[in-house]
Amino acid sequence: MGVKRFDVGSWLDSPLSRRRLDLSQFAKERADVAEICARVAADGDAALREYGERFDGWAPRESETFEIPKGDLVVAANRLPSADRAALEFAAQRIRDFHLKQVPPATSRSPGLKLVTRPVRRAGVYAPGGRASYPSTVLMTAIPARVAGVSEVILATPPRADGSVPAAILAAAYIAGVDAVYRVGGAQAIAALAYGTNTIPRVDVVAGPGNIYVTLAKKEVFGAVGVDGIAGPTEVMVIADAGARADFVAADLAAQLEHDPLAWAVLVTDSPALADRVEEELRSLIGGLERAQIINAATCCLIVAEDMEQAINLANDFAPEHLLIVAENAGWLATQVENAGAVFVGAYATVPLGDYAAGPNHTLPTFGAARFASPLGVYSFLKHSSVLSLNRGDLEMLRDACLRLAAMEGLSAHAHAIEVRLE
């Protein structure tokens, strides 16, 4: 694989250090997605059938539906190997427990003012297919919505060519409390959730990861519906000192790279010797992995910093999706992190634990978005309204400042609406 080596100076000079999500390079895909979304908005199920045949190799007949019978979710959960179901239920409980900590008070008050927090009424979650199926994503998207109090949670996921959906996906949907599962994938699924069709209800928020077409579709429909974020390929940054085990570090780099040929893995260390050992371990490890071809196509960078403080500064600038810190003073270094989607501290806090069952959400901001964005959470499915209750005394107290501001902005009708109440 093409591992790229840098010192700090050459890293900062490299465009790789300044990577940000740039969708302008996908002009053709953007045009295709815009057409797909417009067709689904106009033609609904007929467009979904056409795109299902074209992209997934399956679409329901006129007499059939995209929805999987709800009883099939129960059957899938009951037929799943007991160890697999136990793993899903264990992960679901930990995810639920973590996200319960995010639930805010329903109402906060100050004199004359209430801030009311309510869940959206209906949420749509998306679980990708293709290279693999991701029951963990079903748990990570649906459970926070349920914890938030969303009344209806529906799942869209691509079908196989025979119209079936992996049993693990259906079982996860059952365990997470999903109300309905629809066999539709890609940009057309996002459009269907955003606009609604005769058979798929329109949602208020769409959440969940996907390929470039899903990402572009979320960008296209934003405004008609809320979205959890616009994500790029997955990434990990590892900060490690000379005492870190090279095989541990290499394993975490490879684990992230196997997701996608566009994935990133970056090691920052103050030890040139560790960088050498990690590169050796990585090359040795990849040869025995099933997804070696994907890993070899992805981006892997090794950076030698002067010290751990400089390494943390590089991480804060890079704002990685996943940040793993393996160092003697890892706990203190973690307190210096300002920008990261999820932080993993210590040699045994491997990132895949967070992907599955540790509890925090694995749907995270990527490509530098951790500078301003947060992981998917309960708050992704909540909205806030202010409720203002004022009497005449309050109006008199606010009068002068509001009239002055109305005059500054030239909005005389605003001023009149205030003054008429005091005549």
CA distance from start to end of the chain: 79
Catalytic residue among 99, 235, 259, 322: 322
Rounded to whole angstroms, how far apart are CA atoms 258 and 268?
A: 20
Q: Is 111 exposed, middle or buried (0-12, 13-18, 19+ CB in 10 A)?
A: exposed
Structure tokens at 80: 């799943």
Q: Which long-range contacts (CB under 8 A, 24 or more apart) does 210-214 make?
A: 210/126, 210/128, 210/186, 211/128, 211/130, 211/186, 212/26, 212/29, 213/29, 213/32, 213/33, 213/36, 213/186, 213/187, 214/126, 214/128, 214/186, 214/187, 214/189, 214/190
Structure tokens at 333: 């270094």
Query: Which of 5, 9, 166, 3 minimizes the C-alpha distance to 77?
Result: 166
Using alpha carbons only, what angle is made at residue 189 by residues 185 and 194, rounded to the nearest 5 degrees? 165
322 is catalytic: yes
321 is catalytic: yes
Distance of CA 188 to the CA centre of its chain: 19
Give the pairing of strands 382-388 and 113-119: antiparallel
Q: Is 251 exposed, middle or buried (0-12, 13-18, 19+ CB in 10 A)?
A: middle
Cα–Cα distances (Å) from 388 to 113, 116, 319, 396, in that order, read 5, 11, 39, 15
Structure tokens at 270: 């103050």
Catalytic residue among 321, 384, 414, 416: 321
**Residue 196 C-beta-side C-alpha neighbours within 13 Å:** 10
Q: Which residues are catalytic?
A: 321-322
